[in-house]
Structure 1
Amino acid sequence: MKGLLGFALLGIMSAPMVLAQSDLLGVNDSTSVRRIEFSYTDADRYPPRVSVSELRQLTATRAIPRRYRLQRLLGRTKQEDYILNPIELQRDVVRLRQAFQEAGYPHTYVGYAPSTLDRASNTAVIRFEITQGPPVIIQDVGFYAGSRFLALSLDAELREAWIDFRDRTSFEVGDVFTHFELVQIEDKVLSWFKDKGYAFATLTSSVHIYSGINAADISFQVDTGPRGFVDRIEVEGAPAVHRRVILRSLPFEPGDVFSQRDLIEGQRALFALGLFSVVQVETPPQVQDSTVEVRINLESARPRHISAETGYHQRQGITGEGRWTHRNFLDGARTLTLTAQIQTGLLASAGIGALAGRSARGAVVFTQPHLGFNQLRGILEPFIQYERDPLAGASSEIFGFNRREVGVSTTFIYGLEQTRVLSLRYSLSRTKNFTTSTSTDAYDKSVLRLGGTLGWTDNLLRPTRGVIFQPLIEQGGRIESWLGARPFGVNYLKMQLQVAAYWPLSRNVNFSGRFKAGRVWAGGTRSRTLYTSEGTQVIDTQFLQPTEDRFDPLRFYVGGADDVRGWSTGLAGPKAIRTQDRDGEASLEDGVYEPIGGLARLVASAEVRFRLSGPWYGAAFADAGAVSSERAENCVGPFFEDPNRTRDISIQCGFRDTGRITLRQFKVGAGLGLRYDTPIGFVRLDVAAKLNPDPLDLQSSEDALAATGGSQDDSRNTWYRFNVHFSIGQAF
């Protein structure tokens, strides 16, 4: 009853103020707000502290948006949301005034006298008029321990570190005072002392404002208490997990200097084990002396876990994965996982004239944490994989699979955070390529791979600020030669680097950019002399069978939903039209584009993302990329290995690759996108245009093949200049 009475009194008191301040005498219960404007009356004297977009976020009064009809059709809004409420309008004045006071402007005046009412349409234009006034300037800042300066109460070693931290963190004389920054400084100072061992440190602050001269004196009182050492670690809950598994995951032990940061890292490490559904690391109430008791509260997760998930990829179509995990296999926080993955190719949209991929993979994954120290873990993974590689020839095997790989890999991973990880992996496998056009090719692979992710971001799923570096070095076919074993089927050195940067341009607009570079050096003989009816010709071995099929997965490609978006996956660059032979004749129905790829790659992308409404975002982007291969003339077959032309050899004819990239090889695309924010990241829809397409980019593979054979004109389709990508996750 008191609440209703207070609300009524507020309405009685506020309504005359509304009418007195503005031309809103004709407002009634159905008056809607057509537009809201903000203006500063003293912007020439005091630069505006709060932007217009921030002011809009502070007010509850809403104006009819430009997309009102669409939002109403979607059921996301209704007419009542934009009715002018005089009481709420007066509350907006109070909110704006409080915001300026917290920002250090205690004398700000907010009114809406210039507001107008259109009686014909019964709509109002609300014009907030802000006289910001002078800010409160800090004239003195001090940190004290009782009646002494805080620095004098610390020992010499800690004093120097404290002075350096204080000078980087605290207010400076001449700064504008804000309550928000005051709270931030309090939190940082308290955390700093707790990280230095002062588990029971306390802090209070006092602010004295001289309103006559708009100045402030700020003092912080710090009681550090005794410096503490970890004395006892008490573990509660999760009796099935051995205590030593829990204790060895912690970055501290009894006798260490207390650190609040170590408690946070320990909680993160225990969660990373996957054994617990609840983890809480804290200091319980205790006597405040030089010993600190740490309590760990745990709740066990189910030791065995079954999961299944499905998704969609534009090139692989519908995908699925099933997983069974034992989270504490043989104790010691070891995990055993059985996985099955499938990429079906169903509903795939690989692009005009392109073929969708398909694969099935099974693996047994054994993970051993704490290999010597907490941040290092090892993974042993035997696996078998069947694949339909779109770059290889067709196969008569089940589901069209043209490659099988059986092997085992060993991986060592260092790091806990996803943006600070190093990994070393060695895999040994037996691969078999089988196509209808060539004989079966079986070979061994031995690959050593060193990679990492270094940098930081404010959010892994939707970063707005940060830089991420991802270097990779991969060596294939060398270890066995060092050990004196027979040569393996692939021999190469591969290096690549990806750098992504994120930066906010404003509250609702973010910029992201990416650069990718890579180079692969093939081992063994670089070229061979082949024989034709016209004589001899020197051909790169990378375009000869079976080397071509072996190296296709190792080469670099450009184009796709996460690359140069004007093109389909891999097709931004040289490509061939591959046909399937039927009784010695090329079939137009089976013609597909095969990207050639390259020994080197350069890609650069830029994107600006901006909020539209709620979880909806728009994006504008531009991409450019190139691979090192290019077309070569005078490649006329058939080719033979011997001068008598009795042993023919299959070859990818008409291309060369020196590993060098020139400016004319770059493909450029640009477009617009729509984003929908979900708990698992952005759902993305991008429409991109090819700015410098090749002739084949504007034709289907069937039309291009028919034009080559002379059965139809060499026509172009303008619509092929555009490409649509649907995907989930950050573009980069």
Structure 2
Amino acid sequence: AESGFLASDIRYDVQLDTTSNTVDVRFVIDEGRSVVLEELEIEVASGDSSAEALPMDLEEAWSTYRSRLRRDYLGRRLGPAQERGLQDRSGAWFRDRGYPNPSVSSERVVDSTRATATARLTISPGVRRRFGSVSVEGNERISNRVLARELPITQDHWFSASAVAEGEREVYGLDMVRWADAVVQDGAGTGPVPVRVQVQEGPPRLISGQVGYSTSAGLTTEASWAHRNFLGGARVLSVTAEARTGLLAADETSEERYGLSTTLRQPYLGSRRMSGLLTPFVEYRDGPIDESFRNGIDATAVYELGGISTLALQYRIAARKVLQYRFGTLTDSGLDFLELQTILDDSVGTVTRESRLTASGTWGRLDDRVRPRRGLVARLGLQGAGPDVLSDVQFAKVTSGVSAFLPLGGDFFGRLRLSGGRLWPLGKSIPSDPDAGLIRFLELRDALLTAGGTGDVRGWADGLLGPKTPDFRTVDRGDSLSITADRFIPVGGLSKTAFALELAFNLPAGLRRHAGFLFLDGGRIWTDDGRFGIGDPYDQERMFFGTGAGIEFMTAVGPVRVALGYKINPSPLDLRDPTLVQRALNGGLPISTVPTEALRRFQLHIDLGNAF
């Protein structure tokens, strides 16, 4: 009845298990007929029409709201719970338009024969009032001016309850604020509405650390020191050291990465929604692309649109010193391994400059940020590298993605992710002659697109879907030079398309807070620019598909996802050992002479956090 059903029948069956001395209880529910809202009458004050009872500046908005309310409720089930929703929604509309204390009542008349209902909504807005003074209490180090600028409240503007709530969130969002409460005072008066903001500050200095794990990065650690009111103004100065050790990583493409950075965050850049970050950094990496040192500085502006929606603009200028390149048989153009090594060795120790401008945006809404069941999130990134006086690589790049979450009824819900991208080489990154194609391609490897991994196309290790090559390394044995390869490394490409489709479901009984899931993923990486001379002798630029299953555990630190992926249509290299492939290629033998290994169809994925 509470949910709008006329004659629900609820019974239960009890079954005793004498062996384990337990009882199973099964509820059987027959909802019966539901009451459908046939007519919705809305009255303001003493029954006057909205146009007469409300000021002229609200007439159009009120007419639109009434139409939307009727569209959302008419023809749908109506019970006491839905009736309260009508009242709450209408009261909120008035509280955001100058009425601090509207009174909303409703009456529901049910025709049980026809299973229909008429709802009458009566609203007494009360006195329309404006914002009065705004006071701040409890702050010791952060000034009143800094806190007040975070509030979307202007004296003498019409009162808005959502503006008060948003201001409370904005103040609480300052790093040093531990607790914030915006209180509306003198709620029953007739004059301006004063607002008091109470805050509790945390210590100005904070030391933190965290440890994580993923199949692609292995064990990761981070330690940070922060001053959360640096030079006043609630700006934050932080120093962060992080390490991706690669220890216990399941993916063969794991890399070691160690970095140190300093970030200065300004929480207000002309607008409370705009913040800025300045981050000088230095890092060392040893991974599939190269072994190198890099240092540089990032300047970032972030504009918060509300919720999870943001816009960001970042400029990076950096320099990288390569100690050793990682490469393999990337081409069938006639450039042999030793010749390629000689060319690259000439550039080892030199400094490569990069200058990049990136604009990105995220738009969407989720019912739960940690474990969403309903919502849509879209992402778009635009990046350009240059000009040639500042950057040794030049390109334009577009990436995009959409993630959708939808309840399917009962304990089932669906998830869908689409992603893609394209990179266009420009200027000096365009090969000037055929012999320079591979070198220009290698210079772009930090920007090339890859697929595969826990948060991408499952069934493959990070970046290893599509074009890949044995990680050829030379070992100097005194009077001879030997070549080894103990893993594959991603080649990447200029274009990418990928999808992930997931059917998730709650686990039964006492495990309902956890979920299982089945998935089907797919992706393609390819390079259709013949100027680079990147061949595809092993048919690795086609569409690949992976499937599998996993479990999502809810823990105190968030979701922990464990999944096992299976390659449906692997490439010739996917099922072969890289060491044996290297030996065959060095011996001039086709890779078909290398035996396949069935276990290589499977890939384990483990991740802490929401990996979808």
When the two structures are superposed, what TM-score results if normalisation uses the length of structure 2?
Answer: 0.87
Question: What pairs with 1:172-183 in structure 2 (closer than 5 Å)?
Answer: 175-183=76-84
- The answer to whether the 8 A contact 1:269-1:416 is kept is no
- Out of 362, 365, 369, the residue aligned to residue 453 of structure 1 is 362
Comparing 608-617 and 331-340, the one that deviates more = 608-617
- The Cα shift of 1:709 comes to 4.6
- Out of 534, 538, 548, the residue aligned to residue 655 of structure 1 is 534
- The Cα shift of 1:139 comes to 5.0
Structure 1, residues 126-151: CA drift from partner, whole Å, max 9, x if none?
68474825747555633241353455
Q: Distance in 1 between matches of 2:16 and 2:374?
A: 44
Question: What pairs with 1:248-263 in structure 2 (closer than 5 Å)?
Answer: 248-263=149-164
Q: Distance in 2 between matches of 1:473 and 1:556?
A: 14
Structure 1, residues 205-249: CA drift from partner, whole Å, max 9, x if none?
233446577554433332211111111112121132211001111
- The answer to whether the 8 A contact 1:207-1:218 is kept is yes
Q: Distance in 2 between matches of 1:391 and 1:140?
A: 65
Residue 595 of structure 1: aligned partner: 490
Q: Distance in 2 between matches of 1:721 and 1:211?
A: 61
Structure 1, residues 586-625: CA drift from partner, whole Å, max 9, x if none?
344x433122110111111111111113222111111111
Question: What pairs with 1:469-508 in structure 2 (closer than 5 Å)?
Answer: 469-478=378-387, 486=389, 488-508=391-411
Comparing 610-619 and 318-327, the one that deviates more = 610-619
- The answer to whether the 8 A contact 2:44-2:125 is kept is no
- Out of 23, 33, 42, the residue aligned to residue 142 of structure 1 is 42
Residue 321 of structure 1: aligned partner: 222
The one-letter amino acid paired with 2:534 is F
Question: What pairs with 1:481-630 in structure 2 (closer than 5 Å)?
Answer: 486=389, 488-523=391-426, 524=428, 526-527=430-431, 529=433, 538-539=434-435, 541=437, 543-544=438-439, 547-583=440-476, 584-588=480-484, 590-612=485-507, 613-629=511-527
The one-letter amino acid paired with 1:678 is T
For the residue of structure 2 that corresponds to 1:255, the secondary structure is coil
Q: CA RMSD in A?
A: 2.9
Question: What pairs with 1:92-103 in structure 2 (closer than 5 Å)?
Answer: 101-103=1-3
The change in CA–CA distance for 1:154 and 1:656 in structure 2 (over 3 A counts) is same
- The answer to whether the 8 A contact 2:288-2:471 is kept is no
Q: Distance in 1 between matches of 2:605 and 2:196?
A: 50
Q: Distance in 1 between matches of 2:26 and 2:366?
A: 39
- Out of 407, 420, 436, the residue aligned to residue 309 of structure 2 is 420
Q: Distance in 2 between matches of 1:593 and 1:207?
A: 69
Question: What pairs with 1:192-271 in structure 2 (closer than 5 Å)?
Answer: 192-209=93-110, 216-271=117-172
Say yes or no: does 1:729 pair with 2:606: no
Residue 671 of structure 1: aligned partner: 548
Percent of aligned positions that are identical: 27
Residue 329 of structure 2: aligned partner: none
Structure 1, residues 370-416: CA drift from partner, whole Å, max 9, x if none?
21111111111111111113222xxxxxxxxx211111111111116
Q: Distance in 2 between matches of 1:269 and 1:361?
A: 31
For the residue of structure 1 that corresponds to 2:324, the secondary structure is coil
Residue 331 of structure 2: aligned partner: none
- The Cα shift of 1:174 comes to 5.7
For the residue of structure 2 that corresponds to 1:665, the secondary structure is coil
Residue 714 of structure 1: aligned partner: 594
Question: What pairs with 1:7-406 in structure 2 (closer than 5 Å)?
Answer: 101-110=1-10, 128=28, 130=30, 132-133=32-33, 135=35, 138-139=38-39, 141-170=41-70, 175-209=76-110, 216-351=117-252, 354=253, 356-392=254-290, 402-406=291-295
For the residue of structure 1 that corresponds to 2:401, the secondary structure is strand
For the residue of structure 2 that corresponds to 1:225, the secondary structure is coil
The change in CA–CA distance for 1:576 and 1:200 in structure 2 (over 3 A counts) is same
The change in CA–CA distance for 1:124 and 1:421 in structure 2 (over 3 A counts) is closer
Q: Distance in 1 between matches of 2:113 and 2:489?
A: 77
The change in CA–CA distance for 1:363 and 1:149 in structure 2 (over 3 A counts) is same
- The Cα shift of 1:105 comes to 2.8
The one-letter amino acid paired with 1:527 is P
Residue 411 of structure 1: aligned partner: 300
Structure 1, residues 293-331: CA drift from partner, whole Å, max 9, x if none?
111111111111110111112222111111111111111
- The Cα shift of 1:152 comes to 3.1
Equivalences, count: 576
The one-letter amino acid paired with 1:104 is G
Q: Distance in 1 between matches of 2:382 and 2:442?
A: 22
For the residue of structure 2 that corresponds to 1:440, the secondary structure is coil
When the two structures are superposed, what TM-score results if normalisation uses the length of structure 1?
Answer: 0.73
For the residue of structure 2 that corresponds to 1:148, the secondary structure is coil
The change in CA–CA distance for 1:670 and 1:539 in structure 2 (over 3 A counts) is farther
Q: Distance in 1 between matches of 2:16 and 2:262?
A: 72
For the residue of structure 1 that corresponds to 2:546, the secondary structure is strand
The change in CA–CA distance for 1:317 and 1:151 in structure 2 (over 3 A counts) is same
Q: Distance in 2 between matches of 1:445 and 1:140?
A: 63
- Out of 410, 422, 431, the residue aligned to residue 320 of structure 2 is 431
Structure 1, residues 145-168: CA drift from partner, whole Å, max 9, x if none?
135345531123323321221221
- The answer to whether the 8 A contact 2:43-2:121 is kept is yes
- The answer to whether the 8 A contact 2:212-2:608 is kept is no
Q: Tell me which of the two structures has the higher relative contact order, counting C-alpha pairs closer than 8 angstroms and 6 or more residues apart.
A: 2
- The Cα shift of 1:578 comes to 2.8
Q: Which runs of 5+ in 1 are unaligned?
A: 1-100, 393-401, 530-537, 633-651
Structure 1, residues 321-350: CA drift from partner, whole Å, max 9, x if none?
111111111111111111111111111222
The one-letter amino acid paired with 1:371 is L
Structure 1, residues 434-487: CA drift from partner, whole Å, max 9, x if none?
128623121221111111111222222222222211111111112xx5xxxx35
The one-letter amino acid paired with 1:623 is D
- The Cα shift of 1:707 comes to 3.4
Say yes or no: does 1:687 pair with 2:564: yes
Give 1 or 2 for the bigger CA radius of gyration.
1
Q: Distance in 1 between matches of 2:151 and 2:431?
A: 56
- The answer to whether the 8 A contact 1:581-1:587 is kept is yes
- The answer to whether the 8 A contact 2:282-2:293 is kept is yes
Question: What pairs with 1:629-644 in structure 2 (closer than 5 Å)?
Answer: 629=527
- The answer to whether the 8 A contact 2:3-2:79 is kept is yes
The change in CA–CA distance for 1:450 and 1:131 in structure 2 (over 3 A counts) is closer
